Amino acid sequence: MPISFTCPHCGKQTSVADQYAGQSGPCAGCGQKIMIPGPVSAAAVEPVYVPPAKSSGSGVTILIVVGACFFGMLVCGGVLVARLLPAVQAAREAARRTQCSNNLKQIAIAFHNYHDVYKTFPPAYIPDENGQPKHSWRVLILPFLEQSRIYEQYKFDEPWNSPNNMAVTSQAVPVYSCPSSPAGSPGSTETSYMVITGPGTVFDADKACKISEIVDGTSNTLMVVEVRGTGVNWAEPKDLDASTVTYPLGSGTGNSPDSNHPGGLNVALCDGSVRFISDSISPQVFGGLMTKAGAEMIPGF
């Protein structure tokens, strides 16, 4: 089989008999001495199989790395949630406390509007023929809280808990429920706000009080306070007796001013303002706030 080759000096292609393979001689083109290559066998050109390299496990490594990153994100997220949760809860409570303060502000304005019409604040209750509480002040001020529809359904010639009136008072009046109270959820009929009754207070039983009778000053006299866990329907003629108030405030018994706000409670004063007072307020100061003409010294509180 002829051997074809190319001169490395001049590039001339030449074919010679295979018997000259491995010999040297002059190129027919340039005369330079060249080596005639040997014949190429089929084995020489047979492709060689090169086995693939063994897996280094990079896929598994990537999965491990991704899994570790995901786990790390979960841990970091959990830590962030744990740190943010108290702040979120505090913000929610601050919003609820503000709403409670707004409730009391609306109630205080309703009291003053009632006074403008009737020239007195409403009494703590209207009695029946035997002198027993029959209707609450919370019913009397309904028209001044934009609740005329409920007020018009109420029957004053029947007790507050008659079948007819119970059908009315089973309706919620949102302004009477503090949103921080467990019973302050939408639809609740439990009141979170009461007046303080008793001799010397603005709400002495069924006696109606004029602003002119509050000689201690309206900014130094309590109108409405928060009470926690009352279990009292907003229409029930039941409030706090000044003689049952215990100290420090915040007993949670339903017989003393209290709230679900940390550290204190909201109160409305007779001038229409709303204040947040500490549970640790002194008995002397709070006692002075309960009376309308006691001439007590009321330092800043």
Q: Where are the alpha helices (DSSP H) in 229-282?
A: none
Find the range with the poorest average confidence among 25-29, 264-268, 281-285: 25-29
Q: Which residue has the higher pLDDT, 182 or 189?
A: 189
Question: 290 or 51, which is more confident?
Answer: 290
Higher pLDDT, 222 or 60: 222
Alpha carbons 296 and 285: distance in angstroms, whole number: 8
Q: For residue range 188-216, what is the model confidence (pLDDT) as tens digits?
A: 899 999 999 999 999 999 999 999 999 99
CB 206 within 8 A of CB 249: no
Q: Rounded distance, CA 82 to CA 216, Å?
A: 49
- Rounded to whole angstroms, the Cα distance separating 32 from 11 reads 11
Q: Which parts of the chain are beta strand (E)?
A: 3-6, 13-16, 24-26, 33-35, 125-127, 133-136, 193-194, 196-197, 222-226, 240-241, 264-269, 274-278
pLDDT of residue 147: 97
Spatial distance between the Cα atoms of 78 and 71, rounded to a whole number of angstroms: 11
Query: In terms of C-beta distances under 8 Å and separation of at least 24 residues, what long-range contacts does 92-101 make, across chains too?
Result: 93/180, 93/261, 93/262, 96/178, 96/179, 96/180, 96/261, 97/180, 97/261, 97/266, 97/276, 99/178, 99/179, 100/178, 100/179, 100/180, 100/192, 100/226, 100/259, 100/261, 100/266, 101/266, 101/274, 101/276
Q: Is the pLDDT of residue 82 over 70?
A: no
